[in-house]
Every structure is written in structure tokens, then in C-alpha cells.
Structure 1
């Protein structure tokens, strides 16, 4: 951990991963900053590193081609317009402490930390300081920020946990873990590239959630009033929109449980399994597109003010009398069923020739 105007302390350390440097464009350009101080420390690969910082932190692996660096930690401070005399360094067997004597942290201050490939890392930053962490493997990665953005990529772990009070979260490359948890508050958004996990849990307040592809056994997305856009989702997916927000899913195959207080749902699916459901409790619309619809559509139960169904399915199903809303049922294999309820809106189910990409 270190300190600039306040204290940051760098503690013990744990395990390693791979090298493909990711360009984090949101990070201040290190090439345009002054190199203030470099610290090297020999560490035990079976330890863990804890970092607390009020400035931007970038963590990446050491040069894998440097055989002498397998147990080395290098910390380099970059700043704009600062004199090296402003900084003091204290070091003990268990701790590195960097002190800024004269000035408060600058928003362009960056601490680059290079660690062995397999190392358990926990990073906490304050104010608007961001965290950028890539190309590592460990038992666990934990990242917490206040207003600062988080950018993580090409990580492999048992547990990956990212939490920010109001910053944005972005993943690049692949995240692979048993459990992955991403959480942001206020209007911070969450943008994911490729996810492979057993459990994948994503929470936002007012920010949008976007996922490019996900192969998680169980995925759960929760937002108070943000939009959710999911592409190439698989297996079991649960959606909770607590107040208002729209849901868009393309290239979906698996079991879906979606609950929206208010909002529209658009879904392009190749297969819906088990007991899938879409509930809009107040007002909204549901539009479902499916290729080879007679073959792929499961048993469906629809309830809405307005219901429109593809002609080929309409002939095989039936409308049911109801005093308050329309009901439609199409019976097929009882093992798989889709229930859609949108009493104050409309449901439209139709066939599409849009290709489905896994």
C-alpha cells in the first residue's frame, strides 16, 4: 500500500498467469508523465498483495522472459510536474510505503505495479482513482473503487469481485472464474466482453449493463433502473429490473427467468429450456424472434392486452376466454415451457431467418 497525501500500504503476497499487455485507453498516458520513483522488492510467490491507493493503479505481470524476475515485485510511480524530492519511501520486510510530503494526489498520478504471474491481488482506491488489472491468474482478485473506473482483462481465478460506488466497470478479453461478481452504484455502467464462470452476478443502480458473450452456468443481472443488453447468452439466466429498464437479448439459448417492473423486452432466441418466464408487472412489450419456430418454440402460455403470434403457431394453439386480458396457449413437449405475462402491454412472437451465432 502507498500514500500520497494519505497513506497506502503494500502488504504480503500469493500466485501467477500470462502476458498480453492490454491497452487501457482511460488510463493517463504514462509516456507523457514523469517517472518519479521505482521500487523493487523480492516476494514470496505463495503470498498475497494488498494495495490501497488514492491514485490510479495498474497491475500487470512482470516480463515472463526475465528469469530473474519470477519472485520480483516492481512498483513505478509516474506523475506530472512533480519533483522526486516530494516523495519518501519507507520499507520493512512486510510493507512498502510511499509518502507524498508536499502535495495532494494529482489526477494524472499513476502507480504501475508489475507482479509475478500467479499472485493473489486486492486493490482499493479512493476518490476518482481507477484500477486497471490484466493478464494474471490467482485464487482471488478483489477490486474496490469510489468514483474510479475499473478495467480488468484476461484474468483466471476462483473468485473475481469488482465493486465501485459510482465508477464504470469494463472487462476486456476473457474473465474465467468459478464466481464472478461485478457491482456498481449510481449511474456507473458495466460492460463485459467474454465471461466463463459457474456463477456470474452483475448489479447496477442506474447504469446500463452490456455483455458480449457469456458461458456461465448461472447468470444473474439486477438493475434498479438501467437497461440490459445481453448477446450470446447460454444456460441459466435470471433478470431483475426493479423499477424501469429495457431488456434486449440476442443469440440466447437456455433457461430464462426475467422480471421487470416496467420496460420492454426484445429477445432473439434459438432455444428456451425448462420453465422459462418473462413477467412485466406494470407496462411494457415483449417481442420474441425465433428461427424454425414450429420446431424450436416450446409450450407457451401468454397473457397480455394484445397478443400477436406467428401464423404457423397460431394454427396450432388457441386463445382462451378471459374478462380482463387475452390468453393464448400453444402446447408441445411439457418438459420445456415459456410463460409470458404482460397484462398492460403487448406480446409479439414471430419467426425470423436471422442467423444464430454461438
Structure 2
């Protein structure tokens, strides 16, 4: 893993993100765009000017979920030291995860259709809203002409994308893969739907304290937007060109609960299967995992079930955190963003604390880091993602 790029509510850029995550400073706030809805709090990316970041000519024809991904991808490529002007584009792939596509564009154009008629629907609706377009646009931006696809496994999408990217490298189909995830669905219909499902926190009077992973007082997640992009290469290739190797992606595991559309398997069987598969793929034992960036959504069911699985497989050895206390839940982008934070934890030897964890749920029996960062040597770390549809994906990273 040679390049990182991040755009989240915690900031634009890796440095800004890591500073806020280490400080366990929540980003949730009342969002004026959600005024009048059942839930009006979110973790939006603030201060993001797409015209400034991308140029007006480019920005106007892209949905926000693509705008965020392009900015993150450009940072990741700069960080990697790769020069798109010099590479063989046919050997560069793009695999990005996304759950919902261009919902901002879609909702806007539906309103135009209903209010003003069919001749007011933008001809750009399909190319802006289609879920595949983010990988296509990133490829156009940097001349990546290799395999190009989007993975859609709900809230595991970004993690699935990174695992798929790794497989493209292993197969020899690519020499470089730009991978990660993006989401920008802070729109009235989407937020209302999650609220009606009972998935969102109702702590609207205290937005900053609403996302409380593993805490006894948690009552749902805070919806968020963001993008995380990683650049992956084979280790031998990266070292041959003298690149800085930030970490190694050593293991990937995936599974399905085959249980329920939105509720996790109460036994955590599928999640455990994905964790065990990732460990086996990495060739390491459970007692070698030092740190886990948990899915940790702040929902009553997920956090308890995930904690039970981690206890069964890893015991108390691993220092666990959930960075969603800071960033909220970025849906299809969450796994990629959290993979980036996992890499940064390995690099810096620092496990960020779980924000808003004041009283650990008595049913949770794992070592959850809270209040202050924990300094420790991290040789191997895991990042978990579990999505609607019972789709699970787990990554294992090791020190370079």
C-alpha cells in the first residue's frame, strides 16, 4: 500500500483526518439540508469546494460522490509517487466501492420531473447518478485503462473493493490498482428511509455525542459522507521503484450471513467466517492481531454481535477501536476510510480512541480503546466491514 487519500467530515486530506481521529473529536452536527426530517443530524464534509478542488468545468458534471472520490484519488496518487504521465495505463486498474450511487443528482432530477415536466430532466442524470461512473471518472482523470469496476456490498463496499483490487494484483491482471470507496447520500429520501428503519441515532439534541460505538447509551448510527482511496502495488514492484510502502495488505476474507436483509446474524457466524478467512489468507494466527478497527456502527445489535465474534476469535489481546464515533457511518465508503485509518495506526504505532465511549456496554467483552490514544507496536491489524444483505468483508494489514 503506497498511497492514501481521504475526504471525510474529519477533513480533506490524510493529515487533517488523522489529527481529528486521534483527538476523538466528533464531527456530527445538525445539517440544514435535513431540516424538517425525522433525523436532522449528519457528518457532512464541510469546507469542500468542488470548483476549487477540481475546476468548475469538471465539477459541474459530477455527482458529489464522484467529486469526493476524485479528490481522494488525486491525493492517493500524489502520495504514492506514481506518475500517470509515465505509467502504462493498460496495467492500472480502478476498483471502488459504493452503495447508493448519485442520490443527490437522482433526487434533484426526480423533483424536476414531478414539478416541471420531462423536458426539464437533465440529460446528465444517468452519467451522473449511475453507480459505475465513479470508477470510470477516476480512470479518465488519470489514464487508468486496466480493469475498471465498482463493488456494491452495502456498508462493506469499500472493503470488498480493496480485497478485489488485491486479487487483481495477485492474478497478474494489473501492476497498480487505485481502490477504496465513496459515498455522498445525505439526501432527504435516503436519510428519511434510514430513520424510518430505526437505524439512525435520535440524539438530535446532542449531535456531537450521538455516535457512540460500544457505549451502553448508543441508539443508532449517524449517517455520513466521505471517500477513502488507496494505491496498491505488488511489494516487489513498489520496492523496485523505491516507493514508500506504508503497509502491506496481507489478508482478505468475505462471506454472507444468508440470514436477513438488514439485521445481522445474531450468532455472528458470517462475520466470524470472514475474519477467519482473512487470517488464513494472511497466514497469521488470531494471537498475532494487535489492533482491530471495528465496524462499530453505534447500533444496538451490531456492536454486541461484533464484540462477541471478536472475543471468540481474538480474545482480549487486540486493542479495538471504532472511528465512526468521529466520522459517523459513511456507508459504502466506510470500509475504505477505516482501512486507511488502520494503515495509519500501524505506521504511527497509535490506536485512536473510540469517541463518545463513556460507559462500555456490559455485554461487550473486548478491549475497546477510549478517552486517549494508545501507543503500542502494531505488527498486524484488522479492519472489519459488515453490510445490509449480510455481506461481510475483512482486511488484514501488516507492517511493511
Tell me if both proteins adopt one fold, taking TM over 0.5 as the criterion.
no
TM-score between both structures, scaled by the size of structure 2: 0.24
Which structure shows the bigger proportion of residues in strand conformation?
A: 1
When normalised by structure 1's length, the TM-score is 0.26
Structure with bigger helix share is: 2
Which protein, 1 or 2, shows the higher relative CO under an 8 Å CA cutoff with sep ≥ 6?
Answer: 2
